[in-house]
Structure 1
Amino acid sequence: MLFKKESVLRHIRRHHPACPDFAAEYFANEVAARRWSDASLGKAVGIVMQTYLRHNMTDYDTLLLMGLNKDAARKRVQPRINAMIAHWSRKRTIDD
């Protein structure tokens, strides 16, 4: 299934209103560029957000290089990812 960028952006803005605009644009482009089989729009957005945050906003790749297996490294970084997504799920404030 293909998702249109505009639909993805609406979904992100509805469910993750504090997600920075530049990040929402990036995620929307990533989701829209792929063909998704058996994934809802919400699941596709979640996969892209999780993957981006894991590889770019945590020490996941460093943990792998240090010898941790994927499962252990994911378990270690998941609380940080969850916190970032939870923050984005809050209403925007004047400081966002």
Structure 2
Amino acid sequence: MAKFPLAAIEQHIRYHHPGCPDFAVSYFSNEIAQKEWLDAPLGQAVGITMQSFLRHEMTDYDTLLLHGMERAEARRRVQPRIDAMLKIWRKKPKAHKGKKVGEVGNV
């Protein structure tokens, strides 16, 4: 069994998912650091945690199950939304064009 250090988890997420919001990096890192991972490398632990969170919190997966849908079908239905979110998180955020916060324009 393996436990991963918090700093290593955060570094991994920020490198592989630079678009992931800071609050989510913190949440995922803490969740992963608290568990013992049996034969799972860090990348797999991150993937499992992100997929699970997005499935249960950002889709109607649980509602589909409550309405009697089979687990495999419910997962198949919500996976495109999960994949889209992960795709966004894998990209580095674009810098905002224009004035920076606190910058005063010429008058």
Question: TM above 0.5, one fold?
Answer: yes
Higher helix share: 1
Q: Report 1 or 2 for greater relative contact order, CA contacts < 8 Å, sequence distance ≥ 6.
A: 1
Max Rg structure: 2
Q: Secondary structure at the match of 2:3?
A: coil
State the 4+ residue runs in structure 1 displaced beyond 3 angstroms: none
Give the structure 1 partner of residue 73 of structure 2.
72
User: What count of residue pairs does the alignment treat as equivalent?
Assistant: 95
Unaligned 5+ runs, structure 2 = 97-107
Once the two structures are superposed, what CA deviation does each residue of 1:39-73 show, in whole Å capped at 9, x if it has no partner?
A: 01000000000000000000000000111011000
Aligned-pair distance for 1:6?
0.5
Give the structure 1 partner of residue 58 of structure 2.
57
Unaligned 5+ runs, structure 1 = none
Percent of paired sites with the same residue: 56
Aligned-pair distance for 1:94?
2.6
RMSD of Structure 2 on Structure 1 (CA): 0.7
Q: Secondary structure at the match of 1:35?
A: coil
